[in-house]
Amino acid sequence: MSLTIAVPKGTLLEESRRRLANAGLSLPHDVGRKLILDDPGGGARFLLLRPSDVPTYVEFGAADCGIVGADVLWETERSVSELADLNFGYCRLVVAGPRSAGFHQGRPLPTFCRVASKFVRSAEGYFAERDLPVQIIPLHGSVEISPVVGLADLIVDLVATGRTLAEHDLVIVDEIAPSTARFVVNPVRFRAKYEEVTALLERLQCDA
């Protein structure tokens, strides 16, 4: 029984390909617009997906397992089993604000401040834990310009190098959590394809 593996397009794709290659599975290059790809060795079928769709495909069993950032798992809250931290794709989910606002220097956050984010659930959770009522503004991209143009007071976003923040004169106010790539599996497929899944788990982990 071969595995169907959900692989995220975007920043995690190249390292995912390398890890899979080390595990003996070849995710073909340069495939045009094909989104379903087969390992020439017959060991796996790959689904190339938007990162935020990976947990959905795995939860419903359309894919047996997948690679996805922890940030996506927090945001989608799908019931998938997180089998391993693959320790790549490191970034941090942070609260950031304009340098001029001085929140990073300990100035308290105002009640009902406007928070722009792609990570609505994580942002809501963070402020709810602090009993701070805020207005979350859901965005789909270019979140860092929102304080510059007056749409939001704060943003909650992923930061890898911090360069984008600096370019918009934003500074980190608080770190919510660090995120890395995770290997996830459908809970029933873990049982149904136990040998295949645990073999892949072991081979994905031995490379660090």
Partner 1 sequence: MRLPAGTRDWLPEELAAKRALEASLREVFTRFGYREAATPGFERFDVIEAGLGEALGEESFRFTDRRGTTMALRPEMTTPIARLVSTRLRGAPMPLRLCYVAPVYRYEEPQEGRMREFTQAGVELIGNGSVEADVEIMLSALEALDAAGLPDARIDVNHVAIVDAVLREVGLEPREVRIVKGLLGRRNLVALRAFCAAHGAPGVQVIPELALMRGGEEVLERLLQYVPHPRVDGGIARLRAILARAASLSMEHRIAIDFALLRDFEYYTGLVFEAYVPELGFSLLGGGRYDGLLENFGFETPAVGWTVGVERLLIALERRGGIPEAPDGSVQFLVACDDRTARALRERGARVLRALDDCGEQALLAEARLRGIPHVVVAGLCIGVADGTRRPIEEVLGAPAGDGRS
C-alpha 156/C-alpha 116 separation (Å) is: 7
132 in contact with partner 1 (CB under 8 A): no
Give 47-98 as a DSSP string.
Answer: EEE-GGGHHHHHHTTSSSEEEEEHHHHHHH----EEEEE---S-EEEEEEEE
Alpha-carbon gap, residue 146 to 138, rounded angstroms: 11
Does 34 bind partner 1 (CB under 8 A)? Our answer is no
Q: How many residues touch partner 1 (CB under 8 A)?
A: 25
Which strands make up the sheet holding 91-98, listed edge to edge? 134-138, 113-117, 154-159, 91-98, 170-179
Q: Which stretch binds partner 1 (CB under 8 A): 23-31, 60-68, 151-159, 160-168?
A: 60-68
Segment interacting with partner 1 (CB under 8 A) among 148-156, 162-170, 171-179, 193-201:
193-201
175 binds partner 1 (CB under 8 A): no
Residue from 34, 121, 130, 191 in contact with partner 1 (CB under 8 A):
191
**Among residues 84, 113, 132, 145, which is the contact residue for partner 1, using CB under 8 A?**
84
Residue 133 identity:
P
Residues that bind partner 1 (CB under 8 A): 1, 59-62, 70, 79, 81-85, 182, 185-194, 198, 201
